[in-house]
Amino acid sequence: MFNGMGNMGNMAGMMKKVQKMQNEMKKMQDDLKAKTVEATAGGGAVKAVMNGEKMLVSLKISPDAVDPNDVEMLEDLVSAAVNEAMKKVDDMMTSEMSKFTSGLGLPPGLF
């Protein structure tokens, strides 16, 4: 005999678990947005600090890196520091998401 109520109870329990997981994931994402990463280029001549939303929070340039006759070098150093900071944010997000999803039995790369 088919028991429809049992299936409804399982569905309600599953929905509660999904909602809890969504809330936990949202909190983790909000926490990550508040974190910062730092990247340097040119042996520390340029330092970029970026938050988890990939917004540049701070950019420090050593006076030694400023050469009016070689602006291209400074542009390259700034680009390298900012790009490395963005990569670090991506790596941080991937690492934290994999910790979150590892116990769920989901296929890799789903999130």
* Domain harbouring 43, CATH code: 3.30.1310.10
- Residue labelled with tokens 């678990």: 17
Look at the chain and report how many structural domains it folds into: 1
Residue 54 is classified by DSSP as S
pTM of full prediction above 0.85: no
Q: Closest Cα partner for 59 from 47, 51, 50?
A: 47
Please provide the size of the chain in residues: 111
Q: How many CA atoms lie within 13 A of 107 on its CB side?
A: 2
Domain that holds residue 85: 38-96
Q: What is the pLDDT of residue 40?
A: 97
Residue 65 is classified by DSSP as G
Instruction: Work out the number of other CB atoms within 10 angstroms of the CB of residue 44.
Output: 12
Q: What is the pLDDT of residue 70?
A: 94
Q: What is the pLDDT of residue 62?
A: 96
Asked if the structure places residue 63 within a domain, the reply is yes
Q: What is the pLDDT of residue 39?
A: 97
Asked if the structure places residue 66 within a domain, the reply is yes
Asked if the structure places residue 104 within a domain, the reply is no
- Indicate the helix (H) or strand (E) that contains 78: helix 71-101
Q: In 3-state terms, what secondary structure has residue 11?
A: helix
Residue 17 is classified by DSSP as H
* Phi, psi (degrees; rounded to nearest 5) at 6: -60, -40
106's CB contacts (< 8 A; 6+ apart) are: none
Q: What are the per-10-residue average pLDDT scores of the chain (111 residues)?
A: 60 82 84 92 96 95 94 96 96 83 60 50
Asked if the structure places residue 28 within a domain, the reply is no
